Amino acid sequence: MLVFGIRTVFIAGLMVGRTPVYLGKKIEAFEVKMAMVAVIAPSFTILVFSAIACMTNAGLSSLANKGPHGLSEILYAFASAAANNGSAFAGLNGNTVFYNMMLGLAMLIGRFAIIVPVLAIAGSMVGKKTAPFSAGTFQTDNVMFVALLIAIVIIVGALTFFPALSLGPLVEHLLMLAGRGF
């Protein structure tokens, strides 16, 4: 959430034309770059590894369900590995050499691609002097900041995963309503 807070302050600073300040420290290009790496790396891992699994025989051979539900199973497995504990839907046999290697790599990238940039942000901000509060400082303790933060999280999530989710669960639901199953 700290990374999204930095991105929100940066975007608010762009909108009003002022240098963004978060927790009394000026947010500069390095912090924004590290925040972007921390957000993009896990999403990139989830989507690219899911694509590799969908294109290889080793990835498709473990599916019990073909079609859109199979894509949902693969996406969930990699999303869970990159962000959490590495669980999978019951229809995906994750205990194969391919999935053990790919999910393990996704866990490593998902964890360290967030930890390292956040530590770099922390190290960079520790050395900075506190910026004085002024009338142009975007406050981060009010409803407007919370609303903007929620909007940034939703927009980034939607732009990142909506195409993949529209091919999986949404298509599966539409096909189910039409009486088709896989």
Residue 161 has pLDDT above 90, yes or no: no
Tokens representing residue 82 in the block: 């990159």
DSSP 9-24: HHHHHHHHTS--EETT
Average pLDDT along the chain? 87
User: 22 phi and psi, to 5 degrees?
Assistant: -130, 125
**88 is in which domain, residue-wise?**
2-177
Q: What is the pLDDT of residues 72-119, one digit of tens each?
A: 889 889 999 998 777 877 788 888 999 999 999 999 999 999 999 999
Tell me the pTM.
0.81
23 token code pair: 């927790």
Q: Is residue 37 part of a domain?
A: yes
* Residue 121 CA, distance from chain mean position: 18
Residue range 3-26, pLDDT digits in tens: 888 999 888 888 877 778 888 888
Residue 19: how many other CB atoms lie within 10 Å? 13
Q: Classify the C-alpha dihedral 45-47-50-51 as positive or negative.
A: negative
Number of domains in the chain: 1
Mean pLDDT of 169-179: 86
In a domain, 182, yes or no: no
Q: Which residue has the tokens 């690219």?
A: 48
Q: Give domain status of residue 18, yes or no.
A: yes
Contact between 138 and 21 under an 8 Å Cβ cutoff? The reply is yes
The reported pLDDT for the residue numbered 85 is 77
Q: Residue 17 corresponds to which amino acid?
A: G
Establish if 92 belongs to a structural domain. yes
Which residues, 6 or more positions from 37, have their beta carbon under 8 angstroms from its beta carbon? Answer: 113, 117
